[in-house]
Amino acid sequence: MILRGDRLILGTCYYPEHWTETMWRDDLKRMKDTGIEVVRIAEFAWNKIEPREGNFNYDFFDRFLDIAEEENMKVIMGTPTATPPAWLTEKYPEALNADKDGNLFYHGARRHYNYNSPVYQELSARIVEKMAEHYGKRPCIIGWQIDNEVNCENDEFYSESDHQAFRKFVQDKYGSLEALNEAWGTVFWNQTYTDWKEIHAPRKTCSDSTNPHEVLDYFRFVSYSARSFVKRQSDIIKKYKKQGDFITTNGLFGNLDSHRMNRESLDFITYDSYPNFAYCLDAYSDKPGNMKDRKWSRNLSMTRSISPVFGIMEQQSGANGWNTRMEAPTPRPGQITLWTMQSVAHGADYISYFRWRTCTVGTEIYWHGILDYSGRDNRRIREIREIHKKFEKMKKIAGSHYEAKVGMIKDYDNTWDSQLDVWHGRLEKQSQKAFFETAQLTHTPFDYVNLDETVTEDDLKGYKVLFYPHAAIMTQEQTELLKKYVENGGVLVLGCRNAYKNINGKCVMENLPGVLADFAGVDIPEYTAIAPDTEKVIVNWEGTEMEAAVFAEQLDTLDDTSQIVGTYGSDYYKGTGALTRKAVGKGEVYYYGSAYTADSVRVFLEKLDVIEPFGNLAEVPETCEIAMRTKNEEKYLFILNYEKTPASVKFLKPMKDLWTDNTLIGEVELEPYGVLVAEVL
C-alpha cells in the first residue's frame, strides 16, 4: 500500500480554500520541485461542499483535483467533520459538546461537536457519504483521513446526548441495575441506583469526586463513542474508495483506544509530530532529566505499537503558536531534518509537513508552515529540498521495522485508571518517565506493547525482557498470558501495586498481589507511600544500590520457589524485601515493590543484560538517540544529535553513510542537530 513500505515519501498539508485558485497550480508545481508528492486537503472545508444544509456543491474541490491530476500530485482527502459549519451548530446546538456543568462549547474554535448527537451523526455521515461518492474514484486520490485529531482539544463529553448515550452504554454492558450497582460498588456513600434514569455521565459533585468505577466506565464510553464515530465514516468510505486507497486518521489523543480504532476502521495510523513544543517560551524547562524534543520518540514508539510502519501526517516545519497561547521559536537550521529523521527512525515511511504556507487568518497565524506569509523562498524550504535528496539516498529503508528486544507493557484500562486515581497516577507517571529517559540515555531501544485481548504468546516472544510496572488492574487471563511468556524464557519485571483491583477498579479482598501472587511467588503483608519526611530510600539488590520512589511494599516470598533479592535501606521497613525473583519455566519473573527511578531502570537493564544492544557497533554519547530499522538481513542505524553542540561518535565496525556513500569507521563528528543514517555492513 502506498506510503508504507514502498518508498520514503514527502507530503504536505494544503488548504486550497485559503488561497486564490490562481495560486494553486504554482504551489503544486513548487511542491513537486521541492520533492513533495502528496497533499492532504479538505479536513476543515465542510462549507466548501455543503454551504447550506442539504445544499451540496462539488465544484471547488473538483477544480482543485483537476489541477492536482494535471500536475501529477497525489491527494489524501480529509473528511471535514472536525469543524461543523456555523449553520449546523446554530440550528442544532445539541450537536455541541459541553463541559461538566453543561455549558456548551460554541462555534469559533474546532472539535466543539459531540459524537453522540443523533443529528450530528446523521449530518456528518451524509457529508462523508457525499464526498466519498463524488470524489472516491478520482485517480489522484490515494487515501482518506477521517476527521482530524480525534479527541484533541477535548477528550471528555458532557452534552445531553452523551448523558443519554452513556446510560445506554452501561445498560448494554450490565443488563441490570443490580449488576451495575455491584460493578460500581454503589453501596459506598449510598450511591445505589434504583432506576436507569438516575444514571448520568459524571456531573458536578461535591469536592469534584465521583464514583471511580463509573468514571472508568465513562472513559471506556468516550473511547467507544469516538471509535464508533470513526467507524461510521470508515464504513461509508469503504463503499466508494478505489481499490488500494487507504483509510487513516492522525494523532494520538486521550480517552481513546487507538489500537482498537485502528483494527476496526483504519489501514494504518498517522501521527502529528511537533517536537518544537519542547521549546515553547512558557513551557520550556532546562531541568536535568527534561528530555525536551527527544520525548517525541516516546510518542513515535506508541504510534509504532499501533502500526509498525506508519506515516506522519503533520511534521513540524516552522514555529508553533496560536494567537492565544504557545510561543515557540523558528526551528534552528537542522532541526527540521532532525525531527524528520526521528520520525523515520521510529518507523515512519511518509512525512507530510504541516503546512505548505503559513495561515494568515484565524487562531493559527503563528503556526508556521514551510513558507512564511509572503510565500518567498526561505531557509526552511531549502532544508526540506535537502531532506528530499536524503530520502532518495535512503529509500530502501522503506518497509523496514524498528528493532527492540525490550518491551514496556501498556494497557488502556490501567492508563485510564491512572488518570482517575491519583495513587495509581503518581506511580505510573514516575515509572514511565524514568523508564523512557533511561532507555533513551542508555541507547536501549524498546517497544510499547499494548496488552489487549488480541495479544498472544507469539506477539511477546520476541522480547527478552518485558516491563509492566503498575498494573493495578490485572485479570486472570492476562496473568496466564504473562506466565506463558515467562515459561518460554521471557523475563518479566513487575513494579509495585499490581493486581489490587479487578476489571471494574474495585479492590480485591485477597492477599496482595492478588492474581499475581502465585505466579510471582510474592506476598505483601504491608505497604506504604514513602513518607515525605523519609530520607532517600535505597534498595540493595545483591550488592547493587538503586533508589526506590513513591511507594514501598514490604515483600515476603510465598514459598521457597521465590527469593528476596533486594531489601530496603531506610525507615521502619529497613531490611524488608523490596525485590523478589522467581524462576518460572525457562524464564524469570521479578516483583519490585516500588516505582522505577532512572537508576533502578539502569540496574534492571544491566542485570538483565539488555542494555545498549548496539554498543558493539558504535560508541555514542548520551545526548544522541540511537535506533535501528531492519528488513530481512539489512540493518540501518540512525544516530540523532538533539543538542545545539556537536557530538562525537566512534564507529567500531565499518558502516555505509547512506547520504554520502562514505564508509564510517572510528571517530566521526555529528554537527549540532546532526543525523547519521548508516547501513550496517
Catalytic residue numbers, as ranges: 149, 314
| Distance from C-alpha of 597 to C-alpha of 21, rounded to nearest angstrom | 56
- As a whole number of angstroms, the distance between CA 665 and CA 667 comes to 7
What residues numbered 635-654 form the site for its own copies, per CB under 8 A? 644
Which CB atom, from 530 or from 605, has the smaller least distance to its own copies? Answer: 530
Stretch that binds its own copies, among 4-12, 186-194, 255-263, 264-272 (CB under 8 A): 186-194
Q: Could you say whether residue 252 binds its own copies (CB under 8 A)?
A: no
Nearer residue to its own copies within complex by CB, 181 or 228: 181
Q: Which stretch binds its own copies (CB under 8 A): 158-166, 205-213, 348-356, 487-495?
A: 205-213
493 or 512: CB nearest its own copies: 512
- CB proximity list for 91: less than 8 A, separation 6 or greater: 53
Q: In terms of DSSP bridges, do strands 406-410 and 465-468 run parallel, antiparallel, or are they unpaired?
A: parallel
Q: Which residues does residue 587 pair with via DSSP β-bridges, in sequence order? A: 584
CA dist 244 and 135 (Å) reads: 15
Please tell me whether residue 178 binds its own copies under the rule CB under 8 A: no
C-beta of 629: minimal distance to its own copies in Å?
30
Min CB(388)–its own copies separation in Å: 21
Q: At what angle do helices 160-174 and 212-240 cross, to 10 degrees?
A: 100
Classify 298 as helix, strand or coil: helix
Interface region with its own copies, contact rule CB under 8 A, candidates 160-168, 227-235, 320-328, 407-415: 320-328
The answer to whether 323 contacts its own copies (rule: CB under 8 A) is yes
d(CA 221, CA 239): 27
Q: Which of residues 211-250 bind its own copies (CB under 8 A)?
A: 211-214
Of 95-103, 131-139, 537-545, 610-618, the segment contacting its own copies by CB under 8 A is 95-103
By CB under 8 A, the residues from 494 to 533 that bind its own copies are 500, 506-512, 525-533
Q: Does 470 participate in binding its own copies (rule CB under 8 A)?
A: no
Q: How far is the CB of 373 from its own copies (least distance, A)?
A: 5
Q: Which residues contact 238 (CB under 8 A, 6 or more apart)?
A: 247
Residue (524 or 640) nearer to its own copies, CB:
524
Pick the binder of its own copies from 572, 583, 646, 667 (CB under 8 A): 572
Residue 270 has φ and ψ, to the nearest 5°, of -120, 155
* CA atoms of 315 and 343, how far apart (whole Å): 9
- Which 1-20 positions form the footprint of its own copies (CB under 8 A)? 17-18
Cβ–Cβ < 8 Å for 242, 137: yes
DSSP element (H, E) containing 637: strand 634-641
CB-CB contact of 400 with 636 (8 Å): yes
Q: Are 35 and 385 in contact (CB under 8 A)?
A: yes
Interaction of residue 586 with its own copies, rule CB under 8 A:
no
Per DSSP, the three-state class of 521 is coil
Binding of its own copies by 287 (CB under 8 A): no
Residues in Cβ contact with 423 at an 8 Å cutoff, skipping those fewer than 6 apart: 497, 529
575 contributes a contact to its own copies by CB under 8 A: no
304 known ligand binder: no
The one-character DSSP state at 439 is: H
**Closer residue to its own copies (CB): 249 or 450:** 249
> Is 83 a binder of its own copies (CB under 8 A)?
yes
Bond into 52 cis (ω within 30): no
Does 111 bind its own copies (CB under 8 A)? Our answer is yes
**364 in contact with its own copies (CB under 8 A):** yes
Which residues, including other chains, have CB under 8 Å from residue 679's CB and lie 6 or more apart?
A: 634, 635, 636, 637, 655, 656, 658
Q: Would you count residue 329 as binding its own copies (CB under 8 A)?
A: yes
Residue 325 annotated in ligand binding? no
Q: Is 110 annotated as belonging to a binding site?
A: yes
Whichever of 105 and 271 has its CB closer to its own copies, that residue is 105
Q: Which residues are annotated as a binding site?
A: 110, 148, 322
Q: Which residues are annotated as a binding site for substrate?
A: 110, 148, 322
